[in-house]
Amino acid sequence: MSYETEDRRDDVSLYFVLFSALLALVIILSRLLHGFPALNSVFSEASLVLTVGLIIGFFAHNFVQYENDQTDMAGGAEEMREDMYRVATSLLSFSPNVFFMALLPPILFNSGYQLRRELFYRHIKPIVMFACLGTLLSALTAGFSLYGVLKLGWMGDFNPTLLELLTFGSLIAATDTVSVLAVFQKKRVDPHLFYLVFGESALNDAVALVLFKTFASLIENLDKRESFTYAKVAALFIRDVVIQGIGSPSLGILFGFAAALIFKHLDFRELPNLELPLYLVLLLYVPFIAAECLHLSGIVTIFFCGISARRYVTPNISESTMNSAASIFKVCAYLAETVIFLELGLSVFGLASSIQWEFIFWAFAAALLGRAIGIYPLALLHNFTLKERVEVVHLEDSLYADANAQRSPSSDRAAESPGMYASSTGSPSLERRQDSKKRKTPLRRKDKQISRNIMHVLWFVGLRGAVAYACVRDFPDILGHRDEFIAATVIIVLGSIIGMGGATESLLWYLQVTMDVNEDDYMEEWYKTKELRGTLHYFENHYIYGFVSRDATIAFKAPPSNEKPDEDTKATDLESAYHYKPASIV
């Protein structure tokens, strides 16, 4: 027993040595890639890591093999060959649990921690629309369109059920937060566009996971001969989304509050060696694991925990701890992203799956179609809701038919208002007419509009990535179709990240979307042109912030109770009246 344990320990040690060497290799290659801007514009860092993983995975799969019937080898050589085979098998496998429990939390926490919450909440309505309703529309469109293709007989020998296709549609509707962030942060696109895309992609994964688990549970129940209806599916989905949508953000904010109170009442500022470890332990993994244990969304929980930690915890810690923690969060997020793409590339050749090219082609097309259905109609609906019914004055040219005609009642009115009506000389004049049915977007909401070019960007950057792959590895295999779905997902992930991800910068240039924006300077100008108002901001500044933060100062004045806010600056709780006109949204 001890001998087997020692062998296993040696295998694990060799695995980590090899994987660490690969990790160092891709970091060095990434640095060299940045020295070639032209190449880097079409071949992203994520594509480079995936390519390295594919190459190493190909050699490991084809040249490192172990066969039991080899008896002519010496005992030591045979043992070494067996060890190398086990290590290669480990490199070629990808565990969804490792992705969800170890790699995803630092990425999402860092995203929430670095978030400009003003811009995130500014676009909260379209973010929620795209993440919830858009993901549902995308999943259903992909599933039902593939079922239509199946009925037409265009999938060859592959014959999945409708429920399996809906399950596949739900996982393929999950956009890759890591890929989107990597591309947009590198290009430094307009912050309004960045947070609109990032917010939707972060919440989209949680909704897609809920939908995937709902359909997957129904497939597993088929083996138990339990009947289901689409009304039951809809009820389960709505129930889970409501629970996740309320419970997950609340749990993340609650952890932020708890950490803030701990550091407020226990002063660790003079003990940075204790302050930093406690700060990391409380916030980086504990909220995510707690949410998963409570069957909530760890993705949403850790994301909102990062937002609340930046807002409420940082005032209670020392500046050195704050700077060190921010650096650690960035490093952990970068390493986790690199490991995800490297493992994904390594895992491709380790899949024992049969490739159905007809299904892969139609699945990719269905994914693009579903993304379009989840973006364009909702963006148009959002733009329509921004408009208000206003009274518009139209000024029209009018000519009197007979310049020398006798003065009529209308000409009498013209004499009374010569500036409004034509004179009796027959010369052209301006006539006033009121139209109360016109709807226009007020100036204070102009920055919320989603232009046609931005719609194209939102559709195109819906890259598929590790989240979809991690889900498909848990695909129910009751009907024996898991391998085909895994192969299709892998091809779609590689095609979207390498192909569409590499073309993202060209698309941004073609659509004339502003890039290379300094976010700090941008936000400094943004703060000069907006005013935070509203019940939520007033409540947070006067009650919450002072309760959880040490030495909190309130730099906020509420309007007098007898003074009504101006109609042009009236705002809801989450959309305060920001008087800002963006210069870079096309």
What DSSP designation does 498 have?
I
Question: How many of the other CB atoms lie within 10 Å of CB of 316?
Answer: 26
Question: How many of the other CB atoms lie within 10 Å of CB of 324?
Answer: 17
CA dihedral 182, 187, 189, 195 (to 10 degrees): 10
Residue range 17-39: average pLDDT? 85
Using a 10 angstrom Cβ sphere, with 0-12 exposed, 13-18 middle and 19 or more buried, the burial of residue 552 is middle
What is the C-alpha separation between 109 and 333, in angstroms, rounded? Answer: 8
What's the mean per-residue pLDDT of the chain?
75
The larger pLDDT score, comparing residue 430 to residue 87, is at 87
Q: Name the least confident of 128-142, 198-212, 389-403, 448-462.
A: 389-403
Q: Name the least confident of 15-29, 94-108, 304-318, 485-499.
A: 94-108
CATH 1.20.1530.20 range(s) for the chain read 96-228+326-383+446-521
Radius of gyration of the chain (CA): 29
pLDDT in tens, 232-248: 777 777 887 788 878 88
Closest CA to 571 of 21, 121, 15: 121
What is the C-alpha separation between 121 and 483, in angstroms, rounded? Answer: 41
Q: Which of the four pLDDT bands, split at 50, 70 and 90, describes residue 226?
A: low
pLDDT of 354: 66
Q: Which of the four pLDDT bands, split at 50, 70 and 90, describes residue 365?
A: very high
Q: How far apart are the first and last CA of the chain?
A: 67
Closest CA to 537 of 492, 569, 508, 573: 573
- pLDDT of residue 35 exceeding 60, the answer is yes
What is the C-alpha separation between 157 and 162, in angstroms, rounded? Answer: 16
Q: Which residue has the tokens 């969304």?
A: 297
Question: How many of the other CB atoms lie within 10 Å of CB of 251?
Answer: 23
pLDDT of 130: 92
- pLDDT of residue 477 exceeding 70, the answer is yes
> 523 in helix, strand or coil?
helix
The larger pLDDT score, comparing residue 438 to residue 123, is at 123
What is the C-alpha separation between 64 and 87, in angstroms, rounded? Answer: 10
Please list the residues that pair with 396 across neighbouring strands. Answer: 431
Using a 10 angstrom Cβ sphere, with 0-12 exposed, 13-18 middle and 19 or more buried, the burial of residue 279 is buried
pLDDT of 169: 93
What is the C-alpha separation between 367 and 134, in angstroms, rounded? Answer: 13
What is the C-alpha separation between 575 and 124, in angstroms, rounded? Answer: 8
What is the C-alpha separation between 512 and 442, in angstroms, rounded? Answer: 24
Using a 10 angstrom Cβ sphere, with 0-12 exposed, 13-18 middle and 19 or more buried, the burial of residue 478 is middle
pLDDT of 39: 81
Look up residue 547 and give its two tokens: 């309760």
Query: Which class is 96-228+326-383+446-521 in CATH?
Result: mainly alpha
Long-range contacts of 90-93 (CB under 8 A, 24+ apart): 90/11, 90/15, 91/15, 91/18, 91/19, 91/56, 91/57, 91/60, 91/346, 91/350, 92/57, 92/60, 92/61, 92/346, 92/347, 92/349, 92/350, 93/347, 93/350
- pLDDT of residue 361 exceeding 90, the answer is yes
- pLDDT of residue 581 exceeding 90, the answer is no
Long-range contacts of 131-134 (CB under 8 A, 24+ apart): 131/199, 131/200, 131/202, 131/203, 131/204, 131/206, 131/207, 132/203, 132/207, 132/241, 132/245, 133/374, 133/378, 134/200, 134/204, 134/374, 134/375, 134/378
pLDDT in tens, 277-294: 888 888 888 998 899 888
Please name the helix (run of DSSP H) or strand (run of DSSP E) that holds residue 429, with its range, or none.
strand 429-435
What is the C-alpha separation between 500 and 507, in angstroms, rounded? Answer: 9
What is the C-alpha separation between 523 and 515, in angstroms, rounded? Answer: 15
What is the C-alpha separation between 74 and 406, in angstroms, rounded? Answer: 122
pLDDT of 419: 42
Q: Which of the four pLDDT bands, split at 50, 70 and 90, describes residue 565?
A: very low
- pLDDT of residue 575 exceeding 70, the answer is no
105 and 288 Cβ atoms separated by less than 8 Å = yes
